[in-house]
């Protein structure tokens, strides 16, 4: 057993003083006591549950910041996608692992302690499987292991290029699976990593335009019914328009009419959800996965989070294309987007409630469910995924009970000091022991892509 003590810690009921946490050898919290005297290892600032990141395309970190040049008066998600495809065509397995390892260390240093990797880069550049069909997925697992972050691996089923079974383009050939080989991929990964303490497996469909209805049903019937299920949906207005032309229904409505959507589902983006769709999602207890920095970067639009939250809907956040790897930016812009829409302040909290507290607690609960991992709370039975804010920072030291609002709305530099995953300190005084080697490998990967 290992004990850590915090003068202030965020428990499920809110801030508590004098908190002692007992952690077992397997990294699971055994006991939490509050209003006690200091004993065990004392942390150097307010203690929080680590935040789950529910949506990541790791390889896209290599592209971040390189698409900000105006080359088309109608520049959009769809023109950005063409640039992304060019990067996809050049990546090799070693580069994918190097990019992911550095990214996951960046996540840890910023306060993410677990990530759902929406992984669709499966095959060689010409579309042929690698000799080891799980090669690319194993590279993601290896990167997460090296960084020490919790991982929910979501191999993505991707089979077509548009609604109604349109054939995929040559640019998409690295993503494509048939049903049999996709299910075999899941089975192999589950056999290798299903018993891991830090790795969980889920199922993902790229989008309704990338799968047929029949294949989606057959795959869901074949997999473990306890697996998390993720899908991109209604991210772009063009996607909504194309779905209406194909089926006569909006994407979210179509999904609910054809699948048993439940709390195991994470609907990523859902940007262009209608009023009735918002209520349907809230009533079914799905998690809506929002990635505000990516959604803004790509010009997707703004999800109507305020009415969704008022309907008791569940949210979580992810960093998606990794133009930012900061949960502060995701949560801040989640709130700020609603303020801009409404021309009012403090939109995603109940009357008298701290907005920072409401945002963080929502992202903890929604992210933990989307990942299917025992994280997101400082409580017995949960994994000891924890972060320590800098208790010496003037903004935090002056008002510890306002730490979340100070961090999320006034933090211009990282306030994360230490990070623990499964009872093991991975970041101490803002440094990860593997960051220097990982940064060098990441730089080599970027240079290799530039030369390709």
DSSP 3-state of 312? coil
**Cα 255 to chain center, whole Å?**
22
Catalytic residue among 320, 385, 405, 418: 320
Catalytic residue among 269, 314, 322, 393: 269
Spatial neighbors of 209 by CB under 8 A, at least 6 apart, are 160, 161, 162, 163, 166, 239, 242, 243
Spatial neighbors of 86 by CB under 8 A, at least 6 apart, are none
**Cα 207 to chain center, whole Å?**
17
HSE-CB of 218 using CA atoms within 13 angstroms: 11
How far apart are alpha carbons 445 and 162 in whole angstroms? 32
Cα(first)–Cα(last) distance of the chain, in Å? 51
Closest CA to 234 of 207, 258, 262: 207
Report the chain's C-alpha Rg in angstroms: 21
What percentage of the chain's residues is helix, strand, coil (to nearest 5)? 40, 20, 40
Spatial neighbors of 276 by CB under 8 A, at least 6 apart, are 253
Q: Are 52 and 364 in contact (CB under 8 A)?
A: yes
The CA-CA-CA angle for residues 107, 109, 113, to 5°, reads 55
Beta strands 287-290; 29-33: pairing state: unpaired
Catalytic: 269?
yes
Residue with tokens 């017995």: 380
Residue with tokens 């810690």: 9
How far apart are alpha carbons 345 and 333 in whole angstroms? 13
How far apart are alpha carbons 338 and 345 in whole angstroms? 8
Q: Are 132 and 138 in contact (CB under 8 A)?
A: yes
How far apart are alpha carbons 16 and 233 in whole angstroms? 39
Tokens at 62, concatenated: 């290599």
The CA-CA-CA angle for residues 28, 32, 34, to 5°, reads 160
**Catalytic positions:** 269, 320
């Amino acid at each position: 057993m290992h004990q850590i003590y915090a003068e202030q810690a965020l428990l499920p009921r809110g801030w508590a003083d004098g908190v002692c946490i007992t952690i077992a050898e397997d990294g699971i919290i055994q006991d939490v006591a509050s209003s006690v005297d200091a004993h065990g290892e004392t942390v150097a600032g307010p203690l929080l549950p680590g935040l789950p990141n529910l949506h990541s395309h790791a390889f896209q970190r290599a592209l971040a910041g390189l698409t900000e040049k105006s080359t088309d008066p109608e520049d959009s998600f769809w023109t950005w996608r063409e640039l992304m495809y060019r990067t996809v065509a050049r990546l090799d397995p070693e580069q994918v692992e190097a990019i992911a390892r550095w990214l996951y260390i960046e996540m840890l240093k910023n306060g993410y302690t677990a990530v759902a990797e929406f992984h669709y880069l499966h095959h060689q550049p010409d579309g042929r499987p690698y000799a080891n069909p799980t090669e690319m997925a194993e590279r993601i697992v290896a990167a997460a292991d090296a960084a020490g972050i919790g991982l929910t691996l979501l191999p993505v089923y991707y089979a077509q290029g548009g609604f109604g079974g349109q054939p995929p383009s040559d640019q998409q050939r690295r993503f494509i699976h048939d049903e049999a080989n996709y299910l075999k991929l899941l089975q192999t990964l589950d056999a290798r990593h299903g018993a891991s303490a830090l790795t969980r497996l889920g199922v993902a469909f790229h989008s309704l335009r990338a799968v047929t209805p029949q294949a989606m049903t057959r795959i869901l019937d074949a997999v473990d019914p306890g697996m998390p299920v993720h899908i991109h949906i209604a991210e772009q207005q063009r996607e909504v328009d194309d779905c209406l032309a194909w089926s006569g229904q909006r994407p979210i409505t179509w999904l609910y009419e054809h699948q048993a959507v439940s709390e195991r589902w994470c609907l990523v983006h859902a940007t262009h959800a209608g009023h009735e769709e918002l209520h349907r999602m809230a009533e079914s207890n799905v998690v809506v996965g929002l990635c505000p920095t990516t959604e803004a970067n790509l010009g997707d639009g703004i999800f109507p989070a305020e009415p969704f939250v008022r309907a008791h809907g569940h949210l979580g956040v992810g960093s998606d294309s990794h133009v930012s790897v900061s949960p502060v930016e995701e949560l801040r812009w989640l709130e700020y987007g609603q303020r801009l829409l409404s021309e009012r302040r403090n939109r995603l909290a109940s009357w008298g409630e701290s907005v920072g507290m409401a945002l963080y607690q929502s992202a903890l609960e929604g992210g933990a469910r989307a990942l299917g991992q025992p994280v997101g709370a400082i409580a017995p039975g949960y994994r000891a995924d924890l972060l320590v804010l800098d208790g010496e920072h003037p903004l935090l030291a002056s008002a510890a009970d306002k730490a979340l609002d100070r961090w999320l709305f006034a933090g211009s530099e990282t306030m994360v000091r230490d990070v623990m995953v499964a009872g093991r300190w991975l970041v101490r005084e803002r440094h990860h022991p593997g960051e220097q080697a990982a940064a060098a490998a990441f730089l080599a990967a970027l240079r290799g892509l530039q030369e390709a």
